Amino acid sequence: MTEIGAYCAKCGARAQPGQNYCGVCGAALAAGSASGFQSSLSGSPVIGRGEDVPYPGEAMIGAILLTIFLPFVALIAALVLRAQETGPQRREQLKNWAIASGGWLATGWVIAIVAFSSIMSAVSPSTCKGGIDLTVPPSYDSTDGKHWTGTFTCMNGATITKPVPNSQVPGGG
């Protein structure tokens, strides 16, 4: 049984009192064993060599928001400061700051859009990408022998089903 404040030695996850196995990686948490857990009283959790523990979801969301919105804040600050500045050299520096911030802001949004679309296409591969794969023969189905649907394989491996005319169905019409 583990003690309060124990951490898994393999992945660094916090173990619950009385837990014998890590809820994250499944490693055994033997009480009193140096390889099973490390108490929070003795310091930070032990992470095995070569092990990589991901950041919590909240940290990733925070990092993404900072990456996207901090250039926006910097852009606003540069524009406000430039509007009040009378020195030509400082105005030029603030203009460059605003341009750089705007560039980073645009880049961040482009990266966010590309990442979002990549994630969405990985999560929902049911959309046909790249067109129909002509090397895979379609399958045809009909409930009444008059109205046919064809199931076609797409280049990305997804399938689509759509109505087809009887003349397109081999031996069907």
Tell whether the model's pLDDT for residue 138 goes beyond 80. Answer: yes
Tokens of 109: 């949004």
CA 110, CA 103: separation in Å to the nearest integer? 11
Could you tell me which residue, 72 or 39, shows the higher pLDDT?
72
**Average predicted confidence (pLDDT) for the chain:** 77
Contact (Cβ atoms closer than 8 angstroms) between residue 100 and residue 127: no
Mean pLDDT of all residues in 134-160: 87
pLDDT tens digit string along 42-92?
445 555 555 566 677 787 788 877 877 888 888 899 899 999 989 999 999
Strand order across the beta sheet in which 159-164 lies: 139-142, 148-153, 159-164
Mean pLDDT of all residues in 145-172: 84
Count of CB atoms situated within 10 Å of the CB of 100: 14
Could you tell me which residue, 19 or 44, shows the higher pLDDT?
19
Pick the range with the lowest mean pLDDT from 43-52, 73-82, 119-128, 150-159: 43-52
75 closest CA partner among 91, 98, 103, 96: 98
Task: Give the three-class secondary structure for 96.
Answer: helix
Mean pLDDT of all residues in 155-172: 82
Q: Any alpha helices (H) in 47-131, and if so which ranges?
A: 57-84, 88-123
Report pTM.
0.37
